[in-house]
Amino acid sequence: MKKHVLLLATCDTKGHEAAFVRDVLRRARVAVQLVDAGALGKPVVKPDVKREALFKAAGTTLAAVVAQGDRGHAVTMAAAGATELARRAFARGELLGVLALGGSAGTTIGTAAMRALPIGVPKLMVSTLGGSPQAGNYVGTSDVMMLNSVVDVLGINRISAAVLTRAAQAMAGMAKGRLPKPARRARPLVAATMFGVTTPCVERAKARLEAAGCEVLVFHATGSGGRTVEQLARDGLLAGVLDVTTTELADELAGGLLSAGKERLTAAGARAVPQVVSVGALDMVNFFGPETIPEKYRERKFHRHNANVTLMRTTALECAELGVEIGTKCAAARGPCAIFLPKQGVSAIDKAGQPFEDGAARRSLYDNIEATCGKVPVHEMDCHLNDPAFADAMADQLLEFMGMRKRRRS
Together in a domain, 197 and 171: no
Say what the pTM is. Answer: 0.79
H/E element holding 35?
strand 32-36
Together in a domain, 172 and 282: no
- The terminus-to-terminus CA distance of the chain in angstroms comes to 57
Together in a domain, 114 and 197: no
Q: What phi, psi does 50 have (nearest 5°)?
A: -75, 160
Read off the pLDDT of each residue in 76-90 and give the average, rounded to a whole number: 97
- Domain boundary (154, 176, 198) is at 176
Cα angle vertex 199, ends 194, 203, to 5°? 95
Tell me how far apart the alpha carbons of residues 275 and 277 are, in angstroms, rounded to a whole number. Answer: 6
Read off the pLDDT of each residue in 154-167 and give the average, rounded to a whole number: 95
Together in a domain, 91 and 27: yes
Together in a domain, 211 and 110: no
What is the predicted pLDDT for the residue at 151?
A: 92
Tell me how far apart the alpha carbons of residues 340 and 322 are, in angstroms, rounded to a whole number. Answer: 15
Q: What phi, psi does 378 have (nearest 5°)?
A: -115, 125
Q: Is the pLDDT of residue 179 over 90?
A: no
Residue 305, in any domain of the structure? yes
- Give the neighbor-by-neighbor strand order of the sheet with 215-220: 215-220, 189-194, 240-243, 275-277, 337-342, 378-381
Together in a domain, 206 and 133: no
Together in a domain, 13 and 100: yes
Read off the pLDDT of each residue in 238-266 and give the average, rounded to a whole number: 97
Residues 254-266: tens digit of each pLDDT: 999 999 999 999 9
Residues 138-151: tens digit of each pLDDT: 998 889 999 999 99
Residue 212, in any domain of the structure? yes
Residue 410, in any domain of the structure? no
Q: What phi, psi does 340 have (nearest 5°)?
A: -115, 130
Together in a domain, 278 and 350: yes
Domain CATH for 157? 3.40.50.12020
What is the predicted pLDDT for the residue at 408?
A: 40
Residue 183, in any domain of the structure? no
Read off the pLDDT of each residue in 173-195 and give the average, rounded to a whole number: 88
Rounded to the nearest 10 degrees, the angle between the axes of helix 71-91 and helix 104-115 is: 30
What is the predicted pLDDT for the residue at 405?
A: 64
Alpha-carbon Rg for the chain in angstroms: 24
Tell me how far apart the alpha carbons of residues 162 and 310 are, in angstroms, rounded to a whole number. Answer: 37
- Within 10 A of 162 (CB to CB), how many other CB atoms are there? 11
Three-state DSSP class for residue 106: helix
The answer to whether 264 touches 248, Cβ cutoff 8 Å, is: yes
Burial 296-312 (b: 16+ CB within 10 A, else e): eeeeeebeeeeeebbbb
Tell me how far apart the alpha carbons of residues 173 and 171 are, in angstroms, rounded to a whole number. Answer: 5
Averaged pLDDT score across all residues of the chain: 94
Residues 189-203: tens digit of each pLDDT: 999 999 999 999 999
Looking at 239-351, which runs of residues are DSSP E strands? 240-243, 275-277, 284-287, 302-306, 309-313, 337-342
Cα–Cα distances (Å) from 386 to 124, 130, 344, 389, in that order, read: 38, 37, 10, 9
Three-state DSSP class for residue 89: helix
* 185 band by pLDDT with thresholds 50, 70 and 90: low
* 409 band by pLDDT with thresholds 50, 70 and 90: very low
Burial class (CB in 10 A: 0-12, 13-18, 19+), 31: middle
Cα–Cα distances (Å) from 28 to 25, 98, 145, 170, in that order, read: 5, 16, 20, 11
Burial class (CB in 10 A: 0-12, 13-18, 19+), 289: exposed
What is the predicted pLDDT for the residue at 169?
A: 97
Which structural domain, as residue segments, surrounds residue 396? Answer: 189-401
Together in a domain, 167 and 264: no
* 410 band by pLDDT with thresholds 50, 70 and 90: very low
Residue 182, in any domain of the structure? no
Read off the pLDDT of each residue in 15-43 and give the average, rounded to a whole number: 95
Burial class (CB in 10 A: 0-12, 13-18, 19+), 184: exposed
The answer to whether 339 touches 244, Cβ cutoff 8 Å, is: no
What is the predicted pLDDT for the residue at 407?
A: 42
- Domain boundary (176, 206, 240) is at 176
Together in a domain, 199 and 239: yes
Q: Is the pLDDT of residue 220 over 50?
A: yes
What percent of the chain is predicted at pLDDT more than 90? 87
Residues 299-341: tens digit of each pLDDT: 999 998 887 899 999 999 999 999 999 999 999 999 999 999 9
Residues 357-404: tens digit of each pLDDT: 999 999 999 999 999 999 999 999 999 999 999 999 999 999 999 999
Three-state DSSP class for residue 220: strand
How many domains, in total, are found in the chain? 2
Q: Is the pLDDT of residue 103 over 70?
A: yes
Length of the chain: 410
Together in a domain, 249 and 270: yes
Q: Is the pLDDT of residue 24 over 50?
A: yes
